[in-house]
Amino acid sequence: MGVKGETVRLLDEEGRRVDGRRLDELRPFKIEAGVLKNADGSAYIELGNNKILVAVYGPREVHPRHQALSDRVLLRCRYSMLPFSVAERKSPAPTRREIELSKVIREALEPAIFVEEFPRTAIDVFIEVIEADGGTRTASITAASVALADAGIPMRDLVAAIAVGKIDGKLALDINGVEDELGEGDMPVAMMPRLGEITLLQADGRFTPDEFRQALELARKGILTLYEAQKRTLKEKYERIAKEVGEVER
């Protein structure tokens, strides 16, 4: 049901979505690594209208000192939306949603990191959503993983993520803002793709157990596409330099 009693159709007769996509299509996206000078690692992602910047500082000294963990690194994560990132200005104070998302994003990234390598230090991940249009937490995870690799943090694998929704009764990959608001379900998923391990899984709305299985499978496909892009973007800068200095084709 749409606003003011209008029925907005999220799927037309040809199975095309409001932005023209098919059910299993990702929005156009781009990922860049190493975009900030000061941060130890950084990344920027655009996915549809989403624009998200991630900075990683660390490993570095823990402040306040008493929070340091004696046998491993302290991973901290802050997901924050800028006030102008959404249609109705969002107050700068952290909302409950941002608090929850900061936690689940941290828990999506942590399984990949070799946390025992830097005892008594901290790795800080700062996520700033510059513009939001559905699927910000999964896009943030995808960018944060690139930023962590860019910072030289040792990891088992990268982490890539995407959300699957349910619109007009059908499962749709990478739902945008409108589809999330008016649809019947939203399931964000994050994975370490090579290891096949799921590090984030949430859902609201309603999914039958069969739909749940299919949604996971659909998410996996989207995640693999993003994973290839993450790898390319990390290697790109260095491969370009090698080419410029006249090395043999890699």
Partner 1 sequence: MSARAHEVISALKKDTLLSLLKRNERLDGRRLDEYRDIDIKVNLVGKAEGSALVHLGGTKVIAGVKISVGKPFPDTPNKGVLIVNAELIPVASPTFEAGPPGEDDVELARVIDRGIRSAPMLDLEKLVLVPGEKVWTVFVDIYTLDHDGNLFDAAGLAATAALLTSKLREAKVEDGELKITDNVVPLPLKSVPVFVTVAKIGNKLLLDPTYEEELVMDARITFAFNEEGEICCIQKGGAGSFSYDEILQAMEMAREAAHKLRARLPPKNGANV
Partner 2 sequence: MPMYVTHRQIVVPGELIAEGKYEVGGHVYSVGRKYYSKVLGVAEVISEEGKVRVIPLKGKYIPSVGDIVIGKIIDVGLANWVVDINSPYPAVLQVSEVFSRPIVTSKASLAKVLDIGDVIIAKVIAFDYARDPLLTIKESKLGKVTRGTLVEITPSKVPRVIGKKGSMVKMIKELLDVDLVIGKNGRILILGKDKDWEAIAALAIKKIELEAHTLGLTDRVKDYIKSLLEKEER
- Give the C-alpha separation, 162 to 201, whole Å: 10
Closest distance to partner 2 from the beta carbon of 43 (Å): 12
Q: Count CB atoms within 10 A of the CB of residue 157.
A: 17
Which distant-in-sequence residues (6+ apart) come within 8 Å of 228 by Cβ?
Answer: none
Residue 20 touches which of partner 1, partner 2, none (Cβ within 5-8 Å per kind): none
176 three-state secondary structure: coil
Span near partner 2 by CB under 8 A; candidates 113-121, 168-176, 177-185, 207-215? 113-121
Span near partner 2 by CB under 8 A; candidates 81-89, 174-182, 203-211, 241-249? 241-249
Q: Is 204 a residue that touches partner 1 (CB under 8 A)?
A: yes
Q: Is 84 a residue that touches partner 2 (CB under 8 A)?
A: no
Q: Is 242 a residue that touches partner 1 (CB under 8 A)?
A: no
Residue 39 touches which of partner 1, partner 2, none (Cβ within 5-8 Å per kind): none
Q: Is 112 a residue that touches partner 2 (CB under 8 A)?
A: yes
Q: Is 216 a residue that touches partner 1 (CB under 8 A)?
A: yes
Q: Render 64-130 in DSSP notation, one character per residue.
A: SGGG--SSSPEEEEEEEE-GGGSSSPPPSSPPHHHHHHHHHHHHHHGGGB-GGGSTTEEEEEEEEEE
173 three-state secondary structure: strand
Closest distance to partner 1 from the beta carbon of 16 (Å): 26
User: Of 55, 104, 148, 182, which lies in the binding site for partner 1, with binding defined by CB under 8 A?
Assistant: 104
Q: Is 156 a residue that touches partner 2 (CB under 8 A)?
A: yes
Q: Which is nearer to partner 1, 4 or 37 (CB)?
A: 4
Which strands sit side by side in the sheet containing 41-47, from one edge to the other? 29-33, 41-47, 50-61, 121-131, 74-81
**Beta carbons of 105 and 140 less than 8 angstroms apart:** yes
Q: Where does this chain bind partner 1 (CB under 8 A)?
A: 3, 96-97, 99-100, 102-104, 106-107, 110-111, 185, 187, 192, 195-209, 212-213, 216, 220
